[in-house]
Amino acid sequence: MKDTKEAALVGVKEIARRANVSIGTVDRVLNNRTGVADKTREKVLEIIKDLDYQPNIMARRLASKRLLHLAVLIPAASGETGYWNAPLNGIRQAAASIRDFGVTVEIYFFDQNDKTTFTARANEILKKEYQGILLAPMFEEESLNFTKKCRAKKIPFVFINSDIETAGSLTYIGPDLYQSGYLAAHLISYLVREGQQVLIVNISREMDLHHHLLRKEEGFRAYYKTHPADIQIRKTDIRQTDYKSVKSKLHKALAKTPVDIIFVTNSRVATVGRYLEEAGLGHIKLIGYDFLAENIDYLRKSVIDFLICQKPQEQGHKGIMALYDHLVHGAVIEQQQYMPIDIITRENYLNYRN
């Protein structure tokens, strides 16, 4: 029975590949559901005919038994940043597309400002029987402890958003963090003039544990090691992430030494934009990360000059599908799947998709 089920899944995947659509779209066509363009529906049906695929028989067999249980461990979106809504949307879309093929996806959230919540959720996952895990390894030591236990139980796991190369993940799907920081410095090189000041701003309560922020900073500084310039690069770490605390820390930093350009290493760039707008410091150039509503608002107003975006929704979707392809089809998965590093401006944001 297992071979028959897997053959059916392979058939559906092949139909989706040939039609250049998602598995979910194929499922909607097979079950005569709405939400598929007529042209796409005709194309899928033609491929089904060419393959002599028997959808009704296979669907009944697939429905008879659940095949896979997957777990997801990611940060919860918060009032300070809605970044994690995007990967969550991608995860849910992927889960919906494979649900009818015997796959369940259970999502666990942790507080990105509290490493103990990561460990607590990880322990809950380990108490259950999951065949694959998708996680954002935001806290390095805690993630390594968790993934060590996953390896001992022979549970494959996928990283998104940030990587730990020594952990032994099935794949990493996300930005090349070092290159992302390097790109930010390259952008700034076109804006900065001799003698000007550049401020790197890290905003994170668990600063020392958020290795992905430090990796971006490393890439940023590396650019100026290979492209020396007569500028001053300073840094401020803001460990209290509420607006009042960010405002206070920025006010002190800028009162001490005025700056010309600010580079924020994560999605909280809108918080800095708010301060610059309120303080009447619109002459300061501002660069940060992620295609979020609050960031776009300040981009439109030219408070933020550039946003660096790395398709977080696609990361979530690809992560689930990597586990599915590996566990169901035995597919060989690339060790690293880097997302494109996109530069978003006031002129092109309307046409961008996360």
Residue 14: per-residue pLDDT:
83
Residue 176 phi/psi, 5-degree rounding, is: -80, 100
Question: How many helices, marked H, and strands, marked E, lie in the chain?
Answer: 13, 12
- Among 145-154, 200-209, 330-339, whose mean pLDDT is lowest? 200-209
Q: Is the pLDDT of residue 305 over 80?
A: yes
Q: What are the sequence ranges of the domains in the chain?
A: 2-63, 68-175+311-351, 177-309
Axis-axis angle for helices 85-98, 23-30 (nearest 10): 40
Residue 329: per-residue pLDDT:
77
Q: Give CA–CA dist 188/6, Å, rounded.
A: 51
Q: Give CA–CA dist 274/176, Å, rounded.
A: 28
Q: Is the pLDDT of residue 4 over 50?
A: no
Q: Which pLDDT band, with edges at 50, 70 and 90, does 338 fall under? A: very high
- Among 2-16, 137-151, 312-326, whose mean pLDDT is lowest? 2-16
Residue 161: per-residue pLDDT:
93
Q: Residues 181, 219: contact at Cβ < 8 Å? A: yes
Residue 61: per-residue pLDDT:
42
**Identical fold, 68-175+311-351 and 177-309:** yes
Q: Which pLDDT band, with edges at 50, 70 and 90, does 40 fall under? A: very high
Name the superfamily (CATH) of residues 177-309: Response regulator (3.40.50.2300)
- Give this prediction's pTM: 0.78
Q: Which pLDDT band, with edges at 50, 70 and 90, does 277 fall under? A: very high
Q: What percent of the chain has pLDDT over 90?
A: 69
Q: Residues 302, 349: contact at Cβ < 8 Å? A: no
The amino acid that residue 340 corresponds to is P
Q: Which pLDDT band, with edges at 50, 70 and 90, does 299 fall under? A: very high
Residue 3: per-residue pLDDT:
47
Burial of 157 (0-12, 13-18, 19+ CB in 10 A): buried
Q: Is the pLDDT of residue 168 over 50?
A: yes
Could you tell me the fold of the domain covering 68-175+311-351? Rossmann fold (3.40.50)
The CATH number for 2-63, chosen from 1.10.630.10, 1.10.260.40, 3.30.300.30, 1.20.120.420, is: 1.10.260.40
Write out pLDDT tens, residues 243-273: 999 999 999 999 988 999 999 999 999 999 9
Please provide the average confidence, as pLDDT, over all residues in the chain: 89
Q: Which pLDDT band, with edges at 50, 70 and 90, does 33 fall under? A: low
Q: What percent of the chain has pLDDT over 70?
A: 91
Residue 29: per-residue pLDDT:
82
Strand order of the sheet with strand 232-238?
232-238, 197-203, 261-264, 285-289, 306-309, 342-344
